[in-house]
Amino acid sequence: MSARPHADRRPNLFARLSLRQRFYVIAILLLLPAVGLRVFTAFYPFLQTAYLSFHRYNPAFDHGGPVFVGLGNFQRMSADPVVQASISFTLVFVLGATFFQLALGLAVAHLLNAAFRLRFLSRALVLIPWAIPMAVAALGFRWMFDDQFGMIPDLLRSLAGVEMRWLIDPNNAKLAVTSVAVWKSTPFVALVLLAGLQGIGRDLYEAARVDGANAWTSLFYITIPMLLPILITTGMFMIVWQLAVFDLPFLMTGGGPGYSTTVIAQKIYLESNSLNYGYAASISMALVGIVAVVGVVGLYLFRRFDVSM
Amino acid sequence: MSSQAATRSQMSPQTQPGYRSALFARYGESILVYVCFALFVVVIGLPFYFIFVSSITPSTELFNVPPTYWPSIPTLDNYARMVESIPFLTYFRNSVIFGVGSSAVSVIAAGMAAYALARIRFPGSNIIYLALILSVALPQIAVLVPMFQTFNTFRLVNTHHGLIIMMSSLMLPFTIMTLVSFIKQVPAEIEEAAYIDGATTVQIILRVLLPLIRPALFTMFLINFIISWNELLYPLVFAHNVDTKTLSVGLTELTDPGSTYTKPWDMMSALSVFMIVPVLLIILFGQRMIISGLARGALK
């Protein structure tokens, strides 16, 4: 008793722990809110989605709860033309948009990095498309692309002599939705690439210039190889993020004309609204599967090129 | 710039070899930069010009062919009708509660987690970090139905705190990633010195680390406020009454029974301006911080 007076005066559990154990307790307490939130809104509902994807569940009809159907939902998906159309448009949209976001983003990053008097202005302006609500951009461009009253067809007609109908033509509607995604997110990509550009030493370019390199050879032999890890991570991030896009096509075209601009997320939304919870869950699993494949390919590419640097 | 270039060309002898490329190197490059800058300003600015002009154009003139590029008589009628069509002030208040609440919760929870992940060595810390970060790839829409059922069970649908819980959780991965990389840059020696002086962990976090990472926390607060201010899907699905709907939901609700056109662009553009202005103010105020915050999160 008298050997451990300290423990007797403070008989709480925490004081009896070793120093190392105390740190574990503190770490757990600090992580609890974040982990709790993610479990509650991501991990646990995801397990439920996985469970539902093998069940037929429409709360309006299946009063006894979900009915196990095995791979039934996935068979139905493979025969559903809307699902196929939405997957193919989503892939075209995401890959096309990401390519142009990276290419134009690199160009804009050079502009933001150039030494000129209005540089501060360009850096403030570049944030604006990223920062405004997607809903505002989607509806604004819907109006601007309008065949009768829109400014874009009118400007194209009067300035370039191009006569184009946008949102009522399936292919042009796809092009229009993709362009808005490029307009909205290129600035974000540019900002990330700008940080990468600033990390490349000037001496590399000077040495190349002495050896007779011009702007193009510097771009392809210095800038792009040096930025490759960032280009890959940013590209993967944009692909994964845009695979789940919902608000842009939903508000800009409503998925139309027909189903030409319906993305996977909107198909899930439609099925959920029709209370086909089981079917919606199986399409969700397909979307998660696509995201996972992209993620694995991205990690592979990143490791391959990052190690070689 | 171009007049300077012109005077120089009169002064210099045209026969000098390599003169053209030298001139280009000197002025052509900066002219090119300004041309690119002008193009950049037009591409970024034109949509905002159209949205703004539409908002002050009388709705009858809005449906002119060819379109009006500047109204004959600018008017604020569209704003007046928009405010009558939806409970604008209530939605505005809801958007502010949603934005401030979500960003505050996400920054606090992410800050706590980031400290544990960056500073305390414990088994499984890498796995927890990886799981938190990778969960960013889970599409919102893929877990919407189960989430709705759970939130319904806990009576969290149509409540501010329910919306704040899901939105702050959505922003956690990116916020944690950014804050971990920031805390790792702060030298641990300062905290160790405080520890040797007898400070407790809570004291170290609040008195030593917090002042050092306050700029990063504030940056993430601004970024997360912008992201939640712009969010559509969660409020669209989880807010069904006037007391919780946000402005982005209001944008989808505007309808004009008097018009044959399905989308009342006159009112939409007016509301759009109201949704853009707060974001513009934040950018004017915190441009430098936001740029560094976005780049750090994406690079690390």
Rounded to 10 degrees, the C-alpha dihedral B243/B248/B249/B252 comes to 150
Residue A34's pLDDT band (cuts 50, 70, 90): very high
* Option in B40, B138, B251 nearest A288 (CB): B138
Cα atoms in the 13 Å half-sphere on the side-chain side of A53: 22
Q: Is the pLDDT of residue A47 over 90?
A: yes
ipTM score:
0.86
Is residue B132 over pLDDT 70? yes
Residue A225 burial (CB count, 10 A): 14
Give B88: exposed, middle or buried? Use CB within 10 Å, 0-12, 13-18, 19+. Answer: middle
Helix (H) or strand (E) holding A56: strand A55-56
User: Residue B25 — pLDDT band, cuts 50, 70, 90?
Assistant: low
What would the mean pLDDT of A269-275 be, rounded to a whole number? 89
Residue B257 pLDDT > 80: no
CA distance A233 to B295: 12
Distance from CA of A1 to the nearest CA of B (A): 27
Does residue A306 register a pLDDT over 70? no
User: In this predicted structure, what is the pLDDT of residue B96?
Assistant: 95
pLDDT value at B11 more than 70: no
CB B217 within 8 A of CB B205: no
Tokens in use for B201? 């962990």
Best mutation target among B60, B121, B122, B179 (most A Cβ atoms within 10 Å) is B122
Of B143, B263, B272, the CB nearest to A45: B143
Q: What pLDDT, on a 0 to 100 scale, did the predictor assign at position A239?
A: 92
* Burial class of residue A265, CB neighbours in 10 A (0-12, 13-18, 19+): buried
B232 vs A: CB within 8 A? yes
Q: What is the 3 state secondary structure string of A13-27?
A: HHHHCCHHHHHHHHH
Both tokens of A19, joined, read 């120093």
> A48-81 burial by CB neighbour count: b if 16+ within 10 A, else e?
bbbebbbbbbbeeeeeeebeebeebbbebbeebe
**What dotted CATH number matches B78-299?**
1.10.3720.10
Model pLDDT, residue A148 = 77
- What's the pLDDT tens digit per position in A19-28? 778 888 888 9
Helix (H, G, I), strand (E, B) or coil at A167: coil
**Token code pair at residue A144:** 């601007």
Calculate the average pLDDT of chain B: 83
What is the token pair recorded at B140? 């919102």
Structure tokens at A233: 């991570």
The yes-or-no verdict on residue B13 having pLDDT over 50 is no
Q: Is B279 on the interface with A (CB under 8 A)?
A: yes
Inform me whether the C-beta atom of residue B36 falls under 8 Å from chain A C-beta atoms: yes
Q: A108 vs B40: CB contact, 8 Å cut-off? A: yes
Q: What is the pLDDT of residue B59?
A: 78
Nearest residue, CB atoms, B139 vs list A23, A196, A265: A265
Q: So what's the pLDDT on residue B26?
A: 59
Radius of gyration of chain A (CA): 26
Q: In chain B, where are the structural domains located?
A: 2-55, 78-299
State residue B8's pLDDT score. Answer: 43
Instruction: Return contacts of B88-92, CB within 8 angstroms, 24+ apart.
Output: B88/B247, B88/B250, B88/B271, B88/B274, B90/B242, B90/B243, B91/B242, B91/B245, B91/B246, B91/B247, B91/B249, B91/B250, B92/B247, B92/B274
Domain range annotation of chain A: 1-39, 81-308
* pLDDT of amino acid B4: 45
pLDDT given at position A70: 79
Report the range out of A31-40, B5-14, B66-75, B178-187 with the highest average pLDDT.
Answer: A31-40
Q: Which residue of B has its CA nearest to A241?
A: B137
pLDDT, position A7: 45
By percentage, how much of chain A surpasses pLDDT 70?
94
Residue among B176, B283, B290 minimizing CB distance to A34: B176
Q: A81-308: which CATH architecture?
A: Orthogonal Bundle (1.10)
